Structure 1
């Protein structure tokens, strides 16, 4: 089975390709046969072409009419970046590709509805908006739909957007009246077979995992460290990091990743102060500011762009020379994505310089690199118990269909659990009892309470599954610079209030509290940046365990600078009594508290702290705080009780504000959903199975 002759002609004569890449070659036959698939390859591995070219061939060979292929991605910027490429490939065969998301004009949307392009690029949120909109005849638009490509599928599967995506795909299957071929594009993951099964949802079609290393099920990992020029350094402060970045690799294009927006802003300001041409990208900058920065960076040569994970996914920012990482990402998967931004030019190896700011960050970076060198990467798993997404989907279905039979709604998701399992029925009853749904003549429809809470802007709030803390829009004249945390504006200010945004300082001239707008003008310096991190971000059990191994003497097989070696030696000496190869350690009382050094990660430690509630007093990534007066007898008694009764973490009801659609759930179910996501009972149980040394 081969690609369409016209496609092959253009690959050779228009693009100058001598051959397909291994992933692309391996994908042709199964995709032409109609199989579901997950294509696994690093960034810039040719995944888009591996999916799109066979599907274009299918359109031509089978004479499909109308919008036949949906291309879904998690970011509008990624879709914007992909459109020219995909449209070019479609044009070879006389087809069209179009873009639909929140930034697309109403006129362009009307043209899409009239013209029904063969390929439509969109986000799940925009797709949901199409399904529920009174202005879109979704049955007509998707009548010819045959296949769905999900880019960065691993990014969806690991959070609630994945549940939202799966539910929409099941509803689309019913709208189209046929099973849809599902093709996922993924960076390297630890469980690609599970990811494929997840993506298939209720479908029973043949499915295959395809990777450069192995065609079929699973991914084959190398026994030796993967290739890459990796260096680990310890610089101590962000100012020192700026000095290193400014002095190294001048004349080259460098992408610097940071783990917070605040660090991006502060580092950007430091680099500009050293005369480095610097651009910034993070989620709180305006779309236009990010677009201008990314375009300028792509066209420049001797420059730096400082970013959060916004540039981790496949957005093209040109030909990179270097990737630099401040501290370490929290997952090996993120590191692989970032590393994959380099090495795209012939003769240019993949590279990353990690600059750590303190001993703990250095230990975490060494641990992550140890796991990476072994070929280990995290398994992707959907968050448990998505009751709030079930509530959202039931309301969205009633908007889509206007009225739904009160015994027929499970068919909308083709019996896919959890949307039609035991958890769904009580939620429907609660929605009805509380007025979110109305029931009349055996039919369900959207009620007054849903309109009151979610009905603004044509139920726009119902199409997105995330919520965030309130932020203020920052305006320079009429131009939007981005958003800042409300706490920067609400606190007491001595003298002028100054903000740091886009790597520059701004003086606040006026705050419009009712409309959440803040007006600024340029300032010489002194600005501050701050954002709410949200959630229970922290290290996983495997990464925290790898930190213990680093403290016990394991070094990653990469280049360590003299500063990194010296700091590792210092940290190992300082924590020599806290890392035990056989198990965990409860240290002696210090400062009114004992610490139980579990090296188990934040969620397992949250579970242990909840379970040992009578003797525990807080937790972090690597330890659980215990009462200073804890005696061996107290501990023995508490441990016996814990081994028989592991408990989920308690939930502060204020945290429910961060759970979108929690208002549509009974409070107890909303709390139970959050508790299930905050804990790691498997990791906590593993800690309790090991010996525990109590230092008296």
Structure 2
């Protein structure tokens, strides 16, 4: 019996006769046995590797063979756009066996939600945040809705695991297992990661001690593979990038990635000014605006869609010809996702054109490409010490259960790693601060939680990711998207003009109380701006850039401009890298220690050398600022005195707690400690502190 023979006959029939597939892809075949055996599993394949079908086909078989009823399978995604994209496909597969698939997320209308409550689908597609909203809703009885749950499929699981949404996801899954009265099978779908075994173990949560786990990552089948064409160009600015994009690959469908919403808007506006048919997608656009752009792009030719990472995660935008990357993504994993959007048609290449707008980003792109060519992919590492998620989960559980025993609530989570020895102190602080009420040993939501999170049915309590307050932008009654308040408060001469959706809009009225901004189209120049911060570079990426300065050129296609620009970078920064160790550049204003260690390691170094660093200096990914009066001998003495085996966490300003979602429901000292531990890289710092050091006087 082959693996395909294990599928339900109805599923196998439709694979051949409805889809027209002669065979399954390697991942789809390899996943059948472990999924049907009931294993927790991590299914790994590049973009367009058939991961959804690899999970759904055996899930449908298990549903039919086990006569599962009610909502028996959950399909979780990190993005609403991905759910919208997948729903018709999964609903079609479910219909083969007379089953249904429903969609529930923040954009689902009240009417659709009422229908789903009355007519529960067999498969529910949703996000973890919407799932928890269902658990605490007064309109939904979770013990009825999720009583039949058997399997959870988590798409793009690596995107969850890398931040606090992953810890939130695991906690919600533990609560669902308790409600269902069984250990629910967990299937994760992921692009290539550097540590698949660790990622699977993390996804299993408390299942790991009770259910087998299998990583499914078959090798590529023999035969021709798409050629890969990667080009690195230096254009020196976003407007110049638009000129290059407008001139190249006319008649083709191009997807241009930017790593900020402001850069997306700037590039889209410049492309439209050059007559290029341009669409836009990012998180601050209204859902309808995003859907219309993505649908139009999927059906069009000779056009460009400009997007942030929202289109990195599997959303189908049709038959794509080119990927263009402004500057560089943060990780090799992101680059692989983006590269994998191309080369899907027989006879076509996988390709990416890098357009660096600055010298720094040219260096970053070259370093990242060297890592890729070395076969490196970042390990997915969940953020440490999620104490604030522990506090959020205690409050959410009280909201779900109304009252919960002060000694019995831990049974909902088992030994899940978000809880540690500090949890009792967190509970006590929640009681003392009025976030929880305690009466005869029972815990319930307190008045402070009601005041802080009670608006909009506690939705802010159920959303783990922090987002800056934004104003809704309206053209008449149509929602265009949202914009940061700062762009509405900055002083301007003349009309106030903002850029959103790749178009300029003149602000006609601002409703400060309701946080609404009314606009009309204009040809006047405008700007876009959002609060945000660049995440710290990893040790690996920072070190890769150092190696580029020392002469390591990635074996890709280089334009003449990029060759000349990199040569200029190497001349300008000749004293910033040394093959034998790190360099201190002695300058008149301050000394700069070029560690190329990443911001976390540099913060740890600064914490270890308080007498050497510039007090209050801004942290950097590549260097540490030292006092201008420091001598080489004094620095060597201070470094030699550091115990690299016991490095302290960086000092954290208490005001930084405002940037930690739910940091305000932790005891202040634990909130600061959590941030400090997350800001540290003791391993990288120890390597720099233990390596040789060269002192160079800057001319």
TM-score of the two chains, using structure 1 as the length reference: 0.96
Tell me if 1:616 matches 2:613: yes
Deviations 1:588-615 (A, max 9, x none): 214x011100011121112222322222
What SS class does the counterpart of residue 400 from structure 1 fall into? helix
Instruction: Give the equivalent residue in structure 2 for 1:597.
Output: 594
Instruction: Give the equivalent residue in structure 2 for 1:219.
Output: none
Instruction: Give the equivalent residue in structure 1 for 2:198.
Output: 194
**Quick one: distance in 2 between partners of 1:47 and 1:550?**
36
Tell me if 1:178 matches 2:177: no
Shift of 1:226: 9.5
Shift of 1:64: 1.2
**Quick one: distance in 2 between partners of 1:584 and 1:598?**
5
**Quick one: distance in 1 between partners of 2:131 and 2:661?**
18
Instruction: Give the equivalent residue in structure 2 for 1:651.
Output: 652
Instruction: Give the equivalent residue in structure 2 for 1:357.
Output: 357
What SS class does the counterpart of residue 201 from structure 1 fall into? helix
Deviations 1:584-639 (A, max 9, x none): 0001214x011100011121112222322222124311111111221123212321
Deviations 1:307-331 (A, max 9, x none): 1111111111111000000010011
Tell me if 1:53 matches 2:50: no
Deviations 1:212-243 (A, max 9, x none): 3289xxxxxx9xx9951111111112121111
140, 148, 156: which one pairs with 1:152? 156
Tell me if 1:43 matches 2:44: no
Instruction: Give the equivalent residue in structure 1 for 2:460.
Output: 461
Q: Is the 8 A contact 1:280 1:293 kept in 2?
A: yes
Instruction: Give the equivalent residue in structure 2 for 1:670.
Output: 671
Let me know the Cα RMSD of the aligned residues: 1.6
TM-score of the two chains, using structure 2 as the length reference: 0.96
Instruction: Give the equivalent residue in structure 1 for 2:692.
Output: 691
Instruction: Give the equivalent residue in structure 2 for 1:318.
Output: 318
Q: Is the 8 A contact 1:71 1:148 kept in 2?
A: yes
Q: Is the 8 A contact 2:280 2:306 kept in 1?
A: yes
Q: How many pairs are equivalent?
A: 685
Deviations 1:152-187 (A, max 9, x none): 000000000000000011111100000111000001
Q: Is the 8 A contact 2:605 2:689 kept in 1?
A: no
Deviations 1:391-440 (A, max 9, x none): 11001111111111111111000222233x31211111111111111111
Q: Is the 8 A contact 1:474 1:519 kept in 2?
A: yes
Tell me, which stretches of 5 or more residues in structure 1 are unaligned?
A: 216-221
Tell me if 1:471 matches 2:470: yes
Instruction: Give the equivalent residue in structure 1 for 2:525.
Output: 526
What SS class does the counterpart of residue 616 from structure 1 fall into? coil
Tell me if 1:266 matches 2:263: no
**Quick one: distance in 1 between partners of 2:242 and 2:551?**
30
**Quick one: distance in 1 between partners of 2:495 and 2:543?**
47
**1:164-243 alignment, distance < 5 Å:** 164-203=168-207, 204-213=210-219, 227-243=227-243
Q: Is the 8 A contact 2:166 2:382 kept in 1?
A: yes
What SS class does the counterpart of residue 215 from structure 2 fall into? strand
Instruction: Give the equivalent residue in structure 2 for 1:332.
Output: 332
Deviations 1:188-229 (A, max 9, x none): 1100000000000011311111113289xxxxxx9xx99511
Shift of 1:577: 2.2
Tell me, which stretches of 5 or more residues in structure 2 are unaligned?
A: none
79, 90, 94: which one pairs with 1:90? 94
Shift of 1:111: 2.2
109, 131, 144: which one pairs with 1:105? 109
Structure 1 residues 434, 214: CA separation in 2 closer, same or farther (over 3 Å shift)?
farther
What SS class does the counterpart of residue 285 from structure 2 fall into? coil
What SS class does the counterpart of residue 458 from structure 1 fall into? helix
**Quick one: distance in 2 between partners of 1:525 and 1:258?**
24
What SS class does the counterpart of residue 371 from structure 1 fall into? helix
Instruction: Give the equivalent residue in structure 1 for 2:448.
Output: 449
Q: Is the 8 A contact 2:102 2:123 kept in 1?
A: yes
Shift of 1:347: 1.3
Deviates more, 1:557-566 or 1:198-207: 557-566
What SS class does the counterpart of residue 693 from structure 1 fall into? strand
Deviates more, 1:12-21 or 1:206-215: 206-215
**Quick one: distance in 1 between partners of 2:406 and 2:487?**
48
Deviates more, 1:40-49 or 1:505-514: 505-514
**Quick one: distance in 2 between partners of 1:83 and 1:503?**
28
Tell me if 1:680 matches 2:681: yes
Instruction: Give the equivalent residue in structure 2 for 1:501.
Output: 500
Q: Is the 8 A contact 2:234 2:561 kept in 1?
A: yes
**Quick one: distance in 1 between partners of 2:629 and 2:487?**
40
Q: Is the 8 A contact 1:469 1:658 kept in 2?
A: no
Instruction: Give the equivalent residue in structure 2 for 1:606.
Output: 603
What SS class does the counterpart of residue 575 from structure 2 fall into? coil
Instruction: Give the equivalent residue in structure 2 for 1:347.
Output: 347
Shift of 1:641: 3.8
Deviates more, 1:639-648 or 1:316-325: 639-648
**Quick one: distance in 2 between partners of 1:517 and 1:27?**
49
Q: Is the 8 A contact 1:643 1:688 kept in 2?
A: no
Deviations 1:325-357 (A, max 9, x none): 001001101101111111111111211000111
Shift of 1:386: 0.8
Deviates more, 1:523-532 or 1:42-51: 523-532
Deviations 1:490-528 (A, max 9, x none): 122212211111111121122222222111222212101
**Quick one: distance in 2 between partners of 1:106 and 1:508?**
31
Deviates more, 1:436-445 or 1:40-49: 436-445
**Quick one: distance in 2 between partners of 1:608 and 1:226?**
44
Deviations 1:339-377 (A, max 9, x none): 111111111121100011122211111110111111111
